[in-house]
Every structure is written in C-alpha cells, then in structure tokens.
Structure 1
C-alpha cells in the first residue's frame, strides 16, 4: 500500500469516527439504592427505554484492574430481556436479573459504585454510589441516587452522573420514577 492510500484510509477512518462518535450511546436510565421491608439493600433501576442489560457493582476501596480490560466488577447482574419500567432488584437477583457471580460480600469500610450498561456496553447510563452507612439511613420506599445532570441549554437529555451534581438525593420512589416510564 502506498502512502497516498494509507493517508486516505486514515482520513476516512477519522471522518467516520467523528460522524459516529466514540464510546457507548447515552441512555436516560438511572440507578438508585433502597431497602426492602426487612432492611435488606435493593437496587432500583429506572429504564424507560428498556435497553439496560447489565448492572455492575464495584467496591471503590479495592484495586481490581485487569491490564487490558480495566476494572473487574465485584458483582454483576444480567438481563437478556429488559423491560421499559422501574424495577427493584434484590441482591440475590430475581427471575429477570440473574447474578453472574456469587453474592456480594459487603464491608463496612466499602465505598460501592453501581454502573449500568446496555447490550455489550453499547449503552451507558447514570449509576450511583453508596456505603453501608448510607443505606442504614434509608426507610423502605426511599431511593438514594444521584440525579442526572441536565445541561443549562434546557436540553431534555440527561447526562451520566459523571458530569453532573456530586451530591446524592433521597426521595420517595414516586419522585425517583420518571413520568415517561410506564
């Protein structure tokens, strides 16, 4: 291949990359944490588009990284057929959300992060962070989460929490649930 063809292929690749964007697409989905009637932690997932198929939980106080694939989750759930709904997911999983690893082992000193993804990480959305002490302050029916950041240009499209406010909120489940969700 001569230099002219190589440069042409490089330019075409750059243009195509610029047109399609980089990284996963954004979803309006949102994750939070709550407790059930017995005080056990549950994940609350608002997935109005029905695209989220993977939930990963990390303990941010531990270093778990693979040299080529990045951080390794402590615990993971998958759902082959997500629903357009707001769902609560017990940590043991349920008929839709299957754990792919064993039960999480919670540590009082842990600082946990939940990341939510679509099929093969093609979608990403706003996750949440929490400690066990945070969860002990919750009552059943309350959800702790980071509200999605909305740009100041009045765009209706939320952005992942990584670009949004750094303070979590605790609201009743009704306030966590978007009017756009079934």
Structure 2
C-alpha cells in the first residue's frame, strides 16, 4: 500500500482511451516499509528562514521545510500542521483534485496565498461549490474535506459513490453555464508547489 502525498490534477495522466493513471511518486511512501498506516515526515532544521509569521510557529515550520516545494493547496490539515500522512490525507487531496477537474484546472483556493490557505483550512474553510457543479457531486467532494480524518470516506467508498452518481446522472458539470472569469491562475511563492 502506498501513500501518494501529492495527488493533484498535474499528476494524473490520461491516455487515448480516457484511462487515468496516477503519476509522480516522488513524495510517495510505501506503508509496508514503515510498518504502519501512518507516515510521519521527519524534517531537519534547515537553519534558513524562508517565510516567517510571528503569530504562528507551526506555520513557519511547514513553510520553511526544504528541499522542494510543498503542495500546500492539496494537503490535509494534519499533514500541514503535524506532518502526518495517511490514506485519509490522500482522500483529502483527491477531493481537491476532483474540484480541479470540475473547474477545468483552476488553482484551488483562488485568490488566497499559501499562508492564507493554511489558516483558512484549519479554521474550517473549504472550497466552495462551483455554480456549474452538481450538488450531489459537491457533497461527495466535501466529505473528503472533513477536519476529522476518521470521518473522511475510504477510496473504496468514493469509488462506489462516484459509480452510483455516474449511473444516475448524465452530467456533473454544466458547461453551458461555466463562468470562465471565476477561476484563474495566480502568482505563487516559489516554495509552493502548484
């Protein structure tokens, strides 16, 4: 079993038959190798301050990790603040990935900086339902973003629910009413993986 730790639209390959494959296993960890369902990332102090926040030392710890940029917009709260990664943190990321698909590739949390995303997510803010996204699909995505990781669905449950939605509905996105100006790419800090 693998914890991917970087599920995002940029890491999904689609072939000519519309078969999707997960790619970029650079951050992945095999949980059989660690003998646990939880991977706790241990970080070395870099000694270099990249971004600072006087009022949030945990935020500093996450934002100052090196090497490599972190996919903050796709990370679950327990991953952001405690460096804890599980299948349930991958479920969180999968929900964000699906939101990306619904918005045809928009950057999650448009208009917010990485620091703002971390604070907002911890305070309970979640990505809003795009107007063109069917409520049934959005409700399923929102279950992926439960603060309590034990309340998030399993991938097996998500597969069943998505299959059921597919059987009962023809469209998840109303492209006739897609608001092209609502989603945009944004400037980002080089320490943030987009």
Q: What is the TM-score of this pair, normalised by structure 2? A: 0.25
Q: Larger % of helix: which?
A: 2
Q: Larger % of strand: which?
A: 1
Larger Rg: 1
Q: What is the TM-score of this pair, normalised by structure 1? A: 0.26
